[in-house]
């Protein structure tokens, strides 16, 4: 039997950061696996989790329950049957539908294979004050489906944040535990708590559709040293680039580019002269780390509420390459 936890939360709330912290607490002798699903076409979280030692399966390119219904099931089956992990942690995209994923995991075919444990929802309580986010059905469904709320980014809260969180709690009919956290530093023991939430969840109003123009949009910039992929859905747009293993970026220029790009989310794992660098920005929260495990390429992804000027962002990014320019 594999015990499964869903780690949900809106875009940039700290799911991957929390996963890394939880993986570091894996009891010796247990085998853990991670299924990570990203909104963008270019998977970044997999590269961030690669050093954790867990068996990893990535599903990029949109909510796994919608565009990737079948790949998700195939990926899940393979993970369960080939790896037989003691625990499986699933990170759906910040724009994912928790109900469909939970329904799938509760389906009869999986009964002999897995037991659903507590669903943890990462919440950046500052987002409770952003009407655009609180109106988002995914944001609301993620909170509704949770057994435990992890109120993350405590270092960034002010009095208004705390008041918003207290208001939310006062209205929570299930009075679920709210665990405050910094950088997702929570006790691994939370994973072993049972799934208790039986609250019926609304059926998602609409599934993400892949825009017909997606592949067409790729064609004009396709070449051998790098490629770009676009995605859109649920009122969000993403643009990602993958560069080959020989491409090296100017460190300072790249950090400035990531800091100043007029978009809400930037993620990347890129090659620089000194080695490998991960850049992760949510709003004004910017995190930079050097990395050990080397993916063979550099990958960068940006997500925004509107279609941004991808071409000019791309032009400035391309100028930051130090090597062999095609």
Ligand X SMILES: Nc1nc2c(ncn2[C@@H]2O[C@H](COP(=O)(O)OP(=O)(O)O)[C@@H](O)[C@H]2O)c(=O)[nH]1
Q: Of the candidates 4, 11, 34, 65, which one interacts with ligand X according to CB under 6 A?
A: 11
CB 97 within 8 A of CB 63: yes
Identify which of residues 110 and 295 has a Cβ nearer to ligand X in the complex: 295
Residues 6+ away with beta carbon under 8 Å from 205: 137
**305 makes contact with ligand X (CB under 6 A):** no
Nearer to ligand X, 40 or 85 (CB): 40
User: Which residue's CB is nearer to ligand X, number 32 or number 110?
Assistant: 32
What does the CA dihedral 247, 248, 249, 251 come to, rounded to 10 degrees? 160
Q: Please, which residue, 40 or 85, has the CB nearer to Mg ion?
A: 40
Please say which residue, 247 or 301, places its beta carbon nearer to ligand X. Answer: 301
CB of 15: closest distance to ligand X in angstroms? 3
- SS3 of residue 308 by DSSP: coil
Pick from 268, 228, 271, 224: nearest CA to 246 = 271
Q: 182 touches which of ligand X, Mg ion, none (CB within 5 to 8 A by kind)?
A: ligand X
**How many chain residues bind Mg ion (CB under 5 A)?**
3
Min. distance of Cβ 45 from Mg ion in angstroms?
4
283 closest CA partner among 104, 127, 115: 127
8 binding Mg ion? (CB under 5 A): no
Question: What is the distance of C-alpha 247 from the center of its chain?
Answer: 25
CA–CA separation, 74 vs 296, rounded Å? 25
Q: Which of 86, 113, 133, 156 binds ligand X (CB under 6 A)?
A: 156
Three-class DSSP category at 93: coil
9 binds, among ligand X, Mg ion, none (CB under 5 to 8 A by kind): ligand X
Q: Looking at 14-22, 132-140, 170-178, 201-209, which segment touches ligand X (CB under 6 A)?
A: 14-22
Q: Under rule CB under 6 A, how many of the chain's residues touch ligand X? A: 22
* Region 12-41 residues binding Mg ion, contact defined as CB under 5 A: 15-16
Rounded Cα gap, residues 72 and 172, in angstroms? 31
238 near ligand X, judged by CB under 6 A: no
Among 84, 182, 259, 319, binds ligand X (CB under 6 A): 182
Q: Which of 45, 141, 147, 301 binds Mg ion (CB under 5 A)?
A: 45
d(CA 237, CA 40): 8
Judged by CB under 6 A, the residue of 2, 5, 8, 13 near ligand X is 13
Helices in 62-220 by DSSP H: which ranges?
A: 69-78, 98-106, 131-134, 137-145, 159-170, 214-218
Which residues, 6+ apart, have CB-to-CB distance to 33 below 8 Å? 2, 54, 55, 56, 57, 79, 83, 85, 87, 88, 89
Does position 152 interact with ligand X (CB under 6 A)? The reply is yes
Interaction between residue 282 and Mg ion (CB under 5 A): no
Structure tokens that stand for 4 in this block:
């499964």
Q: Which is nearer to Mg ion, 91 or 164 (CB)?
A: 91
Closest CA relative to residue 7, chosen from 126, 140, 197, 150: 150
Q: Residue 281, interface with Mg ion (CB under 5 A)?
A: no
Which pair of structure tokens corresponds to residue 181?
A: 């956290």
- CB closer to ligand X out of 80 and 266: 266
φ/ψ (deg, to 5) at 169: -65, -40
Site for ligand X in 74-133 (CB under 6 A): 94, 122
Give CA–CA dist 72/66, Å, rounded: 9
Q: Which is nearer to Mg ion, 10 or 110 (CB)?
A: 10
Q: Which residues bind Mg ion (CB under 5 A)?
A: 15-16, 45
Q: Which residues bind ligand X (CB under 6 A)?
A: 9, 11-17, 94, 122, 152-153, 155-156, 182-184, 280-282, 285, 287
């Amino acid at each position: 039997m594999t015990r499964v936890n869903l780690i949900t939360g809106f875009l940039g709330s700290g799911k991957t950061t929390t996963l890394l912290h939880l993986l570091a607490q894996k009891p010796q002798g247990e085998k853990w696996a991670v299924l990570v699903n990203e909104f963008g076409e270019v998977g970044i979280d997999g590269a961030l989790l690669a050093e954790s030692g867990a068996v990893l399966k990535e599903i990029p390119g949109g909510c796994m329950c919608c565009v990737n219904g079948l790949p998700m099931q195939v990926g899940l089956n393979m993970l369960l049957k080939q790896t037989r992990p003691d625990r499986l942690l699933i990170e759906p995209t910040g724009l994912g539908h928790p109900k469909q994923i939970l329904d799938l995991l509760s389906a009869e075919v999986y009964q002999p294979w897995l037991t659903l444990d507590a669903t943890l929802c990462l919440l950046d309580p500052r987002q409770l004050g952003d009407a655009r986010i609180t109106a988002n059905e995914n944001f609301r469904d993620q909170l509704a489906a949770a057994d435990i709320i992890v109120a993350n980014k405590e270092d960034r809260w002010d009095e208004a944040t705390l008041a918003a969180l207290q208001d939310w709690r006062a209205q929570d009919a299930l009075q679920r535990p709210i665990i405050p956290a910094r950088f997702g530093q929570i006790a691994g023991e939370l994973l072993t708590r049972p799934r208790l939430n039986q609250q019926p969840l609304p059926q998602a109003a609409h599934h993400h559709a892949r825009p017909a123009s997606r592949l067409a949009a790729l064609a004009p910039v396709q070449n051998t040293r790098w490629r770009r992929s676009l995605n859109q859905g649920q009122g969000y747009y993403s643009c990602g680039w993958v560069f080959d293993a020989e491409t090296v970026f100017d460190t300072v220029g790249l950090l400035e580019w990531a800091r100043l790009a007029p978009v809400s989310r930037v993620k990347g794992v890129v090659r620089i002269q000194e080695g490998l660098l991960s850049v992760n920005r949510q709003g004004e929260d910017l995190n930079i780390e050097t990395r050990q495990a080397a993916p063979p390429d550099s990958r960068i992804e940006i997500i925004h509420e509107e279609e941004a000027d991808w071409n000019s962002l791309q032009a400035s990014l391309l100028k930051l390459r130090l090597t062999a320019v095609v």
